[in-house]
Amino acid sequence: MNPRKIAFRVDASLKIGTGHVMRCLTLAEALRDRGCESTFICREHPGNLIDLISERGFTALGLPAVDVAQDLGLELNLPPHAAWLGADWRTDATQTRKAIGDVTADWLVIDHYAIDERWERKLRPACRRLMVIDDLADRNHDSTCCWIKIWSKAGRTAIAATFPKIAHCCSALNMPCCNPCTPNCMTGFLPGKARSTASLSISGVPIPTI
């Protein structure tokens, strides 16, 4: 049986920090224990963690960093952190699709403040299931994605106020008050056999499959 293919679109940089990549690495390591193969697609920002991802034994594909300050000014309704993508969303989506190649990913996992439903719709044909990890909820996501909402007590009120932005997603999981970079937080994720399904455990307590 061929291993399930997981593609991660996630970045680290001096501005973004390292937390997004580290929590995706935790997830990828848990998936590797279950026989899945993960590929990371990351832009080559200053401060990226591409070498670390490779050292952990995963394929890491770099996207070239470009200056997009002028291009972003022409686009309407961009996410607040759009500049963190390191390219306009159309260019990034095209480059990501090329990096995935001819293989259809079983899951495309997105952990990036600069990516919203426009990018996700463009990549939807490249994957069987789409997952978004988001602790801001400040932008719309594709209606077919499985959305994982991570919040702390400090951010809970803000996320509740913006929840309508993701209310149309087909499914959502809450991950309350935990550190997603630790093994006991995201180790229960299993790619489902049916449509957009996921299973998580937080501090050893399982969350039912949705």
Element (H, E) at 123: helix 117-123
In this structure, of 52-66, 106-120, 138-152, the range with the lowest mean pLDDT score is 138-152
Residue 78 confidence (pLDDT): 86
Q: Are 27 and 40 in contact (CB under 8 A)?
A: no
User: Is the per-residue pLDDT at 122 higher than 80?
Assistant: yes
Residue 30 confidence (pLDDT): 92
Burial 153-168 (b: 16+ CB within 10 A, else e): eeeeeebeeeeebbee
Residue 162 confidence (pLDDT): 44
Residue 154 confidence (pLDDT): 42
Q: What is the CATH number of domain 5-177?
A: 3.40.50.11190
Most confident range, picked from 47-56, 69-78, 157-166: 47-56
Residue 35 confidence (pLDDT): 92
